[in-house]
Amino acid sequence: MKLDARQTSSPLHHPPPEDIELPALLHALSDPMRLEIVRSLFCAQQGSLSCKQIELPVSKATASHHFKVLREAGVIAQHDEGTRRISHLRSDDLERRFPGLLDSVLRAAQSDL
């Protein structure tokens, strides 16, 4: 039986809510592509999207990097379903750790459009 690359890789790192740090969070939210990912997840009907459902004008490798930065900063959580990687916004964790921050960032980003 042949395994795909995701099945042989190590588990995805997700910091526990108490370890989410403000500098890493702000860095993750400072990039326009990452902010677009966050905005897309925030607006998603089910609250989760596969990486391919979020269209970004960058290469697959660059998009993967952006998802990794968001995940390691604690902004999103991801899990694999077959060959798809599903992402969802950690809204509740972020709200408990930094009340109002995510809403403020998303509101400010919306007004920049």
Q: How far is CA 65 from CA 49, 101, 105, in A?
A: 17, 23, 21
Give residue limits of the domains in the chain. 21-111
List, for residues 36-57, the tens digit of each pLDDT value: 999 999 999 778 999 999 999 9
- Express as a percent the part of the chain with pLDDT over 90: 79
Question: Average pLDDT per run of 10 along the chain, which is 113 residues long?
Answer: 49 93 97 96 89 93 97 97 94 97 92 66
Q: Please tell us whether the domain made up of 21-111 is placed in CATH 1.10.10.10.
A: yes
Provide the β-strand partners of residue 81.
84
